[in-house]
Chains A and B, each alone.
Chain A
Amino acid sequence: MAKVLVVDDSSTVRNEVSSFLSSNGIDVDTAVDGVDGLAKIQRDPNLKLVICDVNMPNMDGLTMVEKVKALGKTIPIIMLTTESNPSMKQRGKDAGVKGWIVKPFNGSAAIEGIKKLIS
């Protein structure tokens, strides 16, 4: 089963996204910030996709993405965030982010894109 990592400092968001993905037959792991997310990405070869917040303590999402890229990892990453400003999106693009979702998470609208990325 494809596995997705959800990285967000909010347990509410982690629960919401995990619950939706699980109900769509997708295996899920979670991380609480960029440090935790980076560690899991390095450790777990079964991850097919990362859904990641931007504003998190300890290590923000875009920094995590840049570090993942620096490690040579090619796992697709989607940002799930309240941020929508163009320069932040550009930074994400430059770091190889595949897509951007402005909160609130709309599972029905995003699921086809998510399935495409993990297939």
Chain B
Amino acid sequence: MIENSFPTESKVLVCDCSLEHENRIKDFCGNSHLIAVKSASSKILDILKSYVDLGAIFLSEDIESIPGGGIDLGIEIHRIRPELPIFLRRCSPLTHTLDEQLLKSFCMIYDIDGINNLQEAIEQHIFCAEYPNALVRGIEEITRNTLYHFFDDVDVEVATPYVVKDRIIYGELFSLMPVESYWCKGYMMIQLSEDNVLALTKTEKISDTYTDSDNFRVINDILSEITNMSWGGIKNRFVSEEKPLSNVATQVPIIVNHKNKYISFGTNAPQLCFKYTLREKSGERRSFSLFHKFIFNLYWQPERFSENQPTVNDLVNAGELDFF
């Protein structure tokens, strides 16, 4: 366990037919940094096809609206979303006579009275990566300041950072930046939808001569520069040139499935996520959300993490001209 790790949260989908048990699950979630989101069984597969940012799913065996109940539903969910841990609340002893292969669809099968036994599995499968508090706070501050530089007269709200096991891509475009340091190697992504981005962008950042057909290119460029500045700021604060980079030569293919809006980094590692919502302070109150994600799939040594000490030269503020 690292010192000063950030207490991340994770969203879990809960589909349970018993209100009493659902409440106990919600209490357990509350104590375990899990945000329980209720779902009707009939909607769960549709929800999973859209962007939801999940860490896990809690099902009960006795779901009646689906033939085969919670077991068949869990098997189907596992088939389409194998990266999501599924916790099945059993309602009968018969659960354990299931075929071994079918049982593999579930991370853990539990009895409601033994729900606290899930804690270890939660740590292992959802919160399996620890993130230094200074890193999480720093990323949030740097990226928030970057966004204020690009967008006019907006409030930027940041949700509590959380982890996901989801591999779903949000929105129509995303940037992908390899990141590497003494303590990590992986990727940074920023994902967003185009709607309202241009409307909220500061006018001096857009050419006078651009036309509507240029829209997507302009938005692409804005996203590119946000990504550049965000990683630049993070690198300046947390990557020391005095320490060698990870020395990990491994590379694995990244798979993007556009049809299913899915990206895989060849690992079961969680993604650390920050959700920023930008909203106009006045007028139409237009808004958009931007998802900032980190996956350290190639190397993760948070115990080696450190923050750079500012030097005299750093006293020149960003944006100011430092004459040599």
Using a CB–CB distance below 8 Å, which chain A residues touch chain B? 10-13, 15-16, 19-20, 55, 78, 81-87, 89, 92-93, 97-106, 109-110, 113-114
Contacts and interface: CB of A to CB of B under 8 A. Distances in A.
A109 B321 contact: yes
A86 B236 CA distance: 10
B254 interface: no
A89 B321 contact: no
A104 B149 contact: yes
Contacts of B283: none
Contact of B321 (A78, A92, A93): A78
A68 to B, nearest CB: 16
B241 A19 contact: no
Interface in B223-245: 224-225, 228-229, 231-233, 235-236, 241
Contact of A82 (B204, B229, B317): B229
Interface residues of B, number: 34
Contacts of A100: 321-322, 324
A13 B217 CA distance: 14
B61 to A, nearest CB: 53
B311 interface: yes
B75 interface: no
B207 A15 contact: yes
A82 B228 contact: yes
- Which secondary structure characterizes the binding site on chain B? helix
Nearest to A105: B319
A101 B322 contact: yes
A99 B300 CA distance: 36
16 contacts: A12-B206, A12-B221, A20-B204, A84-B314, A85-B236, A100-B322, A100-B324, A101-B319, A102-B236, A102-B316, A103-B318, A104-B229, A104-B318, A109-B317, A109-B321, A114-B321
Contacts of B116: none
Contacts of B222: 12
A84 B232 CA distance: 9
Nearest to B237: A84
Contacts of B314: 84
A14 to B, nearest CB: 8
B311 A86 contact: yes
A78 B316 CA distance: 15
B221 A10 contact: yes
B218 interface: yes
B232 A99 contact: no
Given A12-B205, A104-B319, A87 B241 contact: yes
B236 A82 contact: yes
Contacts of A110: 319-321
Contacts of B323: 98-99, 113
Given A100-B324, A106-B319, A83 B232 contact: yes
A64 B43 CA distance: 57
B309 to A, nearest CB: 12
Interface string B146-171: 10011000000000000000000000
Contacts of A92: 324
B101 interface: no
Given A12-B206, A99-B324, A109-B319, 19 more contacts: A10-B225, A11-B207, A11-B218, A12-B205, A81-B232, A82-B233, A83-B232, A92-B324, A99-B322, A99-B323, A100-B322, A101-B320, A101-B322, A102-B318, A102-B322, A104-B149, A105-B319, A106-B320, A109-B317
Contacts of A19: 204
A78 B319 CA distance: 12
B313 interface: yes
A104 B316 CA distance: 13
A11 B236 CA distance: 23
A106 B318 contact: yes
A99 B218 CA distance: 29
Contacts of A13: 225
